[in-house]
Amino acid sequence: MALTTEVDTTATVTRPGRRKLRPSPGADRAASRLRHQRGITRWVLLTLLAVATLATLFPFAMAAINAIKTVEDYTAHGPLGLPRSFDLTAIKDFWQNVDYTNKLLNSILISASVAVLGTVISVLNAYAIGIGRIKARNALLVLLLLATTIPQEALIYPLYYLAKAVGLYDTKLVVIIISAVLSSAFGTYLLASVLSAFPSEILEAARIDGAGRWQVLRHVVVPVIRPTLMVLMTFFFIWTWNDFFLPLIMLVSNGNQTVSVALGSLQGQYTSSPTSLAAASLMGILPAVVFFLIFQRTLTRGAVAGAVK
Amino acid sequence: MTVSTAVDRGTRPASPLSQATRKGYLRYLVPGVLGFLVVVLVPFVMNVAISFTSWSGIGTPSFTGLDNYQRLVRDQMFWSAFAHSIWFIVAMAVIPTALGLVLAAVLFDYIEPRFGQRVSSALRAGFYLPQVLPVAVAGIVWSWILNPYGALNTVLQKLGIADPPNWLGDTSWALPAVMAVLVWMQLGYGLVIFMAGMARIDPQLHEAAELDGASWLTRFRHITIPQMRPETFVVLLTTTIAALKVFGPVYVLTKGGPGDATNVPSYYSYTNFFGTLQVGYGAAIATALTVVVIALSVVFIKLQSKSEGAQ
């Protein structure tokens, strides 16, 4: 039965390079039953996967242990040694040098605004497409799909030029508007399919009660799809938080920069000071890990919703 | 494409809305359409127009016809940037999809039944974590680990390799090093999608095959892979597009260097726009990249609907 399986699995998964042992099926089965009972194979596999996971997490660990070392400790024992001191100087210095409070506030403001604005635009579009079933809906969806595939490089120079022309260059507002519109392409696409399957009885009932289009949207549709809207907002928030290209080009002055841009432009400044670099890394990692823990369920579910709708 | 069919199949044709009612919904599109015009359509048309000119960003652009595109075809730098894109596709799409599929199958139908969902979820979360990190942050973490005196070389020296390379600073090592970082970043994406997809497979398929004596590998090849076809398509498509557009990791890790060892089209257009101020040429590169990305998406989607039709 499944027991033959076990031997094969380890042979292929754990050492792809080596020749596979192929004893006769009977012996194979007996041997594997024995192993299965002792549980060797599965423990070997589990250990290998655990090692691979730890290797994946290695960079996170490196940033964490080196951010809290003193420079002397680092020079004496290198990056791998566990900290023999607990020292927040590197983190404090980094925080003050880049005015990290300001960067965090900028990132939060921009990401939250994009989450709300992008979701509002998506809902309005999707309402017209999915429930209003306006005429050109399929053409619109294809257009939106194209919008999501166009590389930002093919839009950025005109956007930069136009932003300068209307005096919005180097403002958070311009990043919020552009990101919200770009995110709403995906949001519309997702919500249109959700709304096109919206139960018609509910809509009918609301209309018979005399609710107008706007009231139906506000008091019937939005409350029903609220969980999906939360997923969408989470998505937009994280995307905007992680976005690098647009804020790199639009936000030049120090006071407007986001966490991503501030950290991305650090490189090269600090190469002589490994503990400072580790401190900066750790400060960049922490918010992301916090979001991950808070939104883990939403995010993994959302990644799936986005992929296989 | 998927959605448009979903819309058509909508469950509500019972009471078709009248023409007048439909029109009333148009006003809800106003913010979206306006935004789309200002942020996507107008800039895109402008970018194409700029690509037919010579312009430094200031003053009036002078029309030069197809000059930029003729230069593009002969430009070694441009072709090598595109060649690097292929390596980026390997690192961001091919390897993570293949590895993600195997890993998802191992976690889903080997580890989970034996050690429980907690263990498999914890392992999945570990592999997924790099996905949530901002590119800029991942970049500085890795540039610090890969620097000549960084953590990786310390490990290698402990293992007895006396003279490990300067990963990001060596022309022959920079590209493989950046590729490794990208695999690290991308693996979790496919893994999560495949694991969710596997929950959809009817467990009876696997059980029946097991009773017939099919090994894990046989079941993987004949059940899991065919069943995961829709997910595989989506993951390959989205990651291939992402690989063609990749900018952040290159900017933070190598700035396209050393030399042009890790230069890619998006970074090349960026340096033309904001570095050398050859805006017309930068626009031509960006336009060419757009054409490639859209052509590739169309081919992918055509292939997908063809294979769906064949089944």
Report the C-alpha gap between A110 and A17 in whole angstroms. Answer: 49
- Predicted confidence at residue B50, as pLDDT, reads 95
Q: Which residue has tokens 């800039």?
A: B43
The yes-or-no verdict on residue A29 having pLDDT over 60 is: no
Report the C-alpha gap between A110 and A103 in whole angstroms. Answer: 11
The yes-or-no verdict on residue A131 having pLDDT over 90 is: no
**CATH numbers and ranges of domains, chain A:** 101-307 (1.10.3720.10)
How large is the average pLDDT for residues A267-284? 77
- Predicted confidence at residue B80, as pLDDT, reads 93
Which residues in chain B have Cβ-Cβ distances shorter than 8 Å to A62? Answer: 141, 144-145, 151
**In contact, B155 and A80? CB cutoff 8 Å:** yes
Q: How confident is the model at residue A299 (pLDDT cuts 50, 70, 90)?
A: low
- The alpha-helical segments, DSSP class H, found in chain A are 2-14, 25-38, 40-67, 71-77, 89-98, 100-126, 137-149, 153-165, 172-196, 200-208, 213-216, 222-224, 226-242, 245-250, 259-264, 274-307
- Local mean pLDDT, 10-residue blocks, chain B (311 residues): 41 51 83 93 95 90 91 93 95 95 90 87 90 88 85 85 85 92 92 86 86 87 89 90 92 88 94 94 95 90 77 56
Lowest mean pLDDT among A73-77, A112-116, A231-235: A73-77
Which residues in chain A have Cβ-Cβ distances shorter than 8 Å to B31? Answer: 120-121, 124
- Predicted confidence at residue B18, as pLDDT, reads 62
B53-54 and B62-63 beta bridge pairing: antiparallel
- Predicted confidence at residue B14, as pLDDT, reads 40
Query: What's the Cα-to-Cα distance from A237 to each of A87, A147, B235, B241, rounded to whole Å?
Result: 33, 20, 22, 22
Tell me how far the alpha carbon of residue B114 is from its chain's centroid: 34
- Predicted confidence at residue A302, as pLDDT, reads 56
Q: How confident is the model at residue A52 (pLDDT cuts 50, 70, 90)?
A: very high
- Predicted confidence at residue B201, as pLDDT, reads 83
**In contact, B125 and B187? CB cutoff 8 Å:** no
Please tell me if residue A47 touches chain B, with a CB cutoff of 8 Å.
no
> First CA to last CA across chain B, in angstroms?
18
Please answer yes or no on whether A285 and B141 come within 8 Å at the CB atom: yes
Q: How confident is the model at residue A303 (pLDDT cuts 50, 70, 90)?
A: low
- Predicted confidence at residue B17, as pLDDT, reads 57
- Look at B194 and A23; give whichever has higher pLDDT: B194
Please answer yes or no on whether B142 and A59 come within 8 Å at the CB atom: yes
Lowest mean pLDDT among A27-41, A61-75, A203-217: A27-41
- Look at A7 and A94; give whichever has higher pLDDT: A94
The yes-or-no verdict on residue A37 having pLDDT over 50 is: no
Which residues are bridge partners to B53 per DSSP?
A: B63
Most confident of A82-91, A120-129, A263-272, B192-201: A120-129
Nearest to B97 by CA among B219, B29, B194, B195: B194
Complex ipTM, two decimals?
0.85
The yes-or-no verdict on residue A19 having pLDDT over 60 is: no
The yes-or-no verdict on residue A3 having pLDDT over 90 is: no
Distance from CA of A149 to the nearest CA of B (A): 7
How large is the average pLDDT for residues A77-100? 84
- Predicted confidence at residue B102, as pLDDT, reads 94
pLDDT tens readout for residues A135-161? 888 888 888 888 888 999 999 999 999
- Predicted confidence at residue A28, as pLDDT, reads 47
Token code pair at residue A245: 């290209």
Does residue B9 come out as left (phi exceeding 0), alpha (psi in the -120 to 50 range) or beta? alpha
Please tell me if residue A41 touches chain B, with a CB cutoff of 8 Å.
no
Phi, psi (rounded to 5 degrees) for B30: -55, -55
3-state secondary structure of B132: helix
Contacts of residue A71, Cβ cutoff 8 Å, sequence gap at least 6: A90, A273, A275
Please tell me if residue A194 touches chain B, with a CB cutoff of 8 Å.
no
- Predicted confidence at residue A11, as pLDDT, reads 33
Please answer yes or no on whether B44 and A129 come within 8 Å at the CB atom: no
The yes-or-no verdict on residue A255 having pLDDT over 80 is: yes
pLDDT tens readout for residues A161-196? 999 999 999 999 999 999 999 999 989 988 988 888
**In contact, B92 and B243? CB cutoff 8 Å:** yes
**CATH numbers and ranges of domains, chain B:** 17-69 (no CATH), 75-310 (1.10.3720.10)
- Predicted confidence at residue B15, as pLDDT, reads 47
Average pLDDT, chain A: 81
